[in-house]
Amino acid sequence: MGAEDYLPKPFNQVLLTARIGACLDKKQLRDQEVEYLRNVHQIMIAAEDVEAGKFVPESLENIAQRKDGLGQLARVFQRMAREVFIRELQLKQQIQQLSIELDEARQAQQVTEITESEYFQNLQSKAREFRRMIDGL
């Protein structure tokens, strides 16, 4: 029925106080254990979020404030996630820059191919002839 302890009558006041204290200590330890397990679960959710690409480092802020190993794990997790995010941004910028450079190189290659073609050379030659004819008029 949920009873934690019992005392036969007549009860001893010192024994009653000690057992109530023990029950309260046990409840406090259980509350700490439940909170710890909640925090572990939150870190596991954060790991899933990292894999899904939707992790927010601030989601572990309350755990990171702990002074124990779990707090250290949360702080390391946050730092690593921030570093990965920064690297990802840098790589995206580098890819964008490389894409621009590739486009410019392709355009230069196309211009070179056009200007070095026999057809273009003939057009230039005809344009020079027309200029001479116009200048001669």
pTM > 0.85: no
Integer CA distances (angstroms), 80 to 64, 65, 70, 72, 84, in order: 13, 16, 15, 12, 6
What is d(CA 114, CA 112) in angstroms, rounded to the nearest whole number? 5
pLDDT number for residue 76: 92
Does residue 1 surpass a pLDDT of 70?
no
Q: Which one has a higher pLDDT value, 70 or 1?
A: 70
Band the pLDDT of 104: cuts 50, 70, 90: very high
pLDDT number for residue 2: 72
Q: Say if CB 61 and CB 70 are below 8 A apart.
A: no
Does residue 137 surpass a pLDDT of 80?
no
Mean pLDDT of 103-116: 93
Which residue, among 80, 38, 34, 36, has the nearest Cα to 57 in the 3D structure?
80
Which residue, among 46, 104, 108, has the nearest Cα to 79 in the 3D structure?
46
| Ramachandran sector of residue 131 (left: φ over 0; alpha: ψ -120 to 50; beta: rest) | alpha
Question: Domain ranges in the chain?
Answer: 13-136
| Ramachandran sector of residue 66 (left: φ over 0; alpha: ψ -120 to 50; beta: rest) | beta
